[in-house]
Amino acid sequence: MKLREALQEVQRPQVDGEPFSVDLVTGFEPLHLRVFLAAHLRLRLRVDRQVAVRTGLFGDLGGNLERAIEGAGEAPVVVTLEWADLHPLLGWREVALVAAGRDEVAFLGEIEGRLAEWRRPLAVGDRKRIVLSLPVLPLPPWVGQSFNGQRSRLRLELDWLVGQFARDAGRRGVRVIEAVDLPAWEPAKHLANGFPYSLAFTDALAGRLAKVMLPAAPKKGLVTDLDQTLWRGVVGDDGAEGVHWDLDHQARVHGWWQQFLAALAGQGTLIGVASKNDPEPVNAALARRELLVPSEKLFPIEAHWQEKWESIRRIAAVWNVGLESMVFVDDNPLEIDAVRQALPQVESVLFPADDPAGVVEVLGRLRDWFGVEAIGEEDGLRVASLRQRVEVEQELAGSLPSIEERFAGLGSRLRMDLRRPAGPRALELINKTNQFNLNGVRWDEADWRMWCGRPEARVAVLGYEDRYGPLGNIAVIAAEERGETLAIRSWVMSCRAFSRRIEFATLQCLLHQWPCEKVEFDWRQTERNGPIATTLRLLVGELPASGRIEISAATLRQNLPLLYVANDEVLENQ
């Protein structure tokens, strides 16, 4: 983005709503970083709003940090640290004497003390989104005596101090960004107006800061090809033992791919297989013990001679996720083109098996698409619970015994977590659920935290398990208690929990926990929320396209089907 484009983006008239506020903490003149940051943030906001970037005083990073953290409510904070913030001797504009025989230990102690002061305000990183960038400007050559390409001892000490500071910040929930790989410094401008960075670097830095501040919803599932992708060789021709993914067979990039898939599966990403092959050799190869991705993590496996886009469609149905949440990876450009044409919503990526650098690039791109900030209990359960859902649906669809007896036999147990503040899983579920979603409204983290802090706000996170095993936290209701009315603003449930009447049990628990005369649903039809519409019709009758739906709590209770769910745990703040 050019500076002029950034200015135009920032000045575009606001559609509605309050501006999105963010504090930008720097010790230098924030000039163009302020503009680029506002522009990139605006492009990433879920709802178009203007962005207000507040800045502080020149040369006072510590004071700016204190003020931003302690005086700005829930507004997120961007901190851009530079060497000069640590000590004027490390800066290019600042004037500081280089004393002969300077005591290096005392000098480093001074810097360490300053960093220690900043640790305290950054300790709120788990309650407030803080994004930190680390120094990128070169150190002046009168510091530390680096020469002939050898890193000086002082520089090593400084790197260690800053690294330790960043590690502590990261442990407290602060998001530390990776360095931008572009020339950063523009000395003439830095001296002229106090802003140190080149425009190209500033654009890239602001883009990265905004991306970490407002991350996109991660993709949910990846479908991989097998031959020349998961392994080198053609399993139908070479046999199960004739395909490879190791260094000895010049096939290590396929090992990378397997390790990468294993890591994705470990964080809860769904991994499926679409291969044009006979199933027998595929099953035999996937049964090999030295496979680097556990074969039980691959589900479902579509191995036959039908079109791959048909396989991907079926996999999407089993996973119950939208095609736009899926990525398909194959080494064959023809297959990639065919899927792109038939299913343009799916991100189709060519696996460049003969180009290790290309594979590294693909892995980096996919890492971004599938990145999650934290791995929760549910993530490890996802594939297992999808398999369970298929089993449950098969059992419930069976002829004997009666459907009510089968529901009763599930042994369903629901756990309600009413603690405040709600954990990150609540917002994650609200923002990524499409099908069982009351209105499709997404929340930015700062708004969510602000709303949760209101006295009338109520949030319930529901966990579930039955005799098939735990599903983890699968539903969230965010409501406001307004007199005798419980106004439900968000209600989402994971598709893994479908077909077990959990949605009705959720309402039953809610009415018990938060007694009221009337319930109001903030309903809006979206392209994909048919499943919750079906549930609501059973409860309240015909639905408008959007608007508030009111129903008395008594009628709602009457309209619930028979439930066999024990609500044996309610977690509340002490």
Partner 1 sequence: MNAARSTEDRLEDCFAAVFPDMPPAKLRMMTMESTAGWDSIALATLIASVEEEFDLLLPTEAYPSLSSFGAFLRLVEETK
Q: Please report how close the Cβ of residue 62 comes to partner 1 at its closest, in angstroms.
A: 23
Q: Please report how close the Cβ of residue 55 comes to partner 1 at its closest, in angstroms.
A: 11
Q: Please report how close the Cβ of residue 53 comes to partner 1 at its closest, in angstroms.
A: 13
Give whichever of 200 and 543 is closer to partner 1, judged by the CB atom: 200
CB 234 within 8 A of CB 221: no
Q: Please report how close the Cβ of residue 60 comes to partner 1 at its closest, in angstroms.
A: 18
Q: Please report how close the Cβ of residue 8 comes to partner 1 at its closest, in angstroms.
A: 6
Question: Should residue 4 be labelled a site residue for partner 1 when binding is judged by CB under 8 A?
Answer: yes
Question: Should residue 31 be labelled a site residue for partner 1 when binding is judged by CB under 8 A?
Answer: yes
Strand partners, 51: 20
> Where does this chain touch partner 1 (CB under 8 A) — which range of 31-39, 294-302, 314-322, 475-483?
31-39
Kindly state the number of chain residues that form the binding site for partner 1, as judged by CB under 8 A. 16
Structure tokens that stand for 467 in this block: 């005799």
> β-strand 546-552 against 518-524: which pairing, if any?
antiparallel
Question: Should residue 2 be labelled a site residue for partner 1 when binding is judged by CB under 8 A?
Answer: yes
Q: Please report how close the Cβ of residue 50 comes to partner 1 at its closest, in angstroms.
A: 13
> β-strand 221-224 against 270-276: which pairing, if any?
parallel
Question: Should residue 7 be labelled a site residue for partner 1 when binding is judged by CB under 8 A?
Answer: yes
Compute the Cα dihedral for 470, 457, 66, 55 and give only its sign: positive
CB 442 within 8 A of CB 431: yes
Question: Should residue 193 be labelled a site residue for partner 1 when binding is judged by CB under 8 A?
Answer: yes
Question: Should residue 191 be labelled a site residue for partner 1 when binding is judged by CB under 8 A?
Answer: yes
Q: For the chain, what percentages of helix, strand and coil (3-state, to nearest 5) are there?
A: 45, 20, 35
Q: In the window 391-420, what residues touch partner 1 (CB under 8 A)?
A: none
Question: Should residue 195 be labelled a site residue for partner 1 when binding is judged by CB under 8 A?
Answer: yes
Return d(Cα 407, Cα 396) in angstroms, integer: 7
Task: Spell out a b/e string for 184-193, using b for 16 or more CB atoms within 10 Å of the CB, else e.
Answer: bebeebbeee
467-471, long-range: CB within 8 Å, 24+ apart, which pairs? Answer: 467/409, 467/410, 467/411, 468/385, 468/388, 468/391, 468/392, 468/410, 469/381, 469/384, 469/385, 469/388, 470/377, 470/381, 470/385, 471/378, 471/381, 471/385, 471/388, 471/496, 471/497
CB 221 within 8 A of CB 317: no
Question: Should residue 219 be labelled a site residue for partner 1 when binding is judged by CB under 8 A?
Answer: no
Q: Please report how close the Cβ of residue 58 comes to partner 1 at its closest, in angstroms.
A: 12
Question: Should residue 11 be labelled a site residue for partner 1 when binding is judged by CB under 8 A?
Answer: yes
Question: Should residue 19 be labelled a site residue for partner 1 when binding is judged by CB under 8 A?
Answer: no
Q: Is 254 exposed, middle or buried (0-12, 13-18, 19+ CB in 10 A)?
A: buried
Question: Should residue 43 be labelled a site residue for partner 1 when binding is judged by CB under 8 A?
Answer: no
Question: Should residue 14 be labelled a site residue for partner 1 when binding is judged by CB under 8 A?
Answer: no
CB 540 within 8 A of CB 553: no
Q: Please report how close the Cβ of residue 189 comes to partner 1 at its closest, in angstroms.
A: 8
Question: Should residue 182 be labelled a site residue for partner 1 when binding is judged by CB under 8 A?
Answer: no
Structure tokens that stand for 387 in this block: 């398999």
Question: Should residue 292 be labelled a site residue for partner 1 when binding is judged by CB under 8 A?
Answer: no
Question: Should residue 32 be labelled a site residue for partner 1 when binding is judged by CB under 8 A?
Answer: yes
Q: Please report how close the Cβ of residue 195 comes to partner 1 at its closest, in angstroms.
A: 7
DSSP code of residue 345: T
Question: Should residue 52 be labelled a site residue for partner 1 when binding is judged by CB under 8 A?
Answer: no
Residues forming contacts to partner 1 in the complex (CB under 8 A) are: 2-4, 7-8, 11, 31-32, 35, 188-189, 191-193, 195, 199
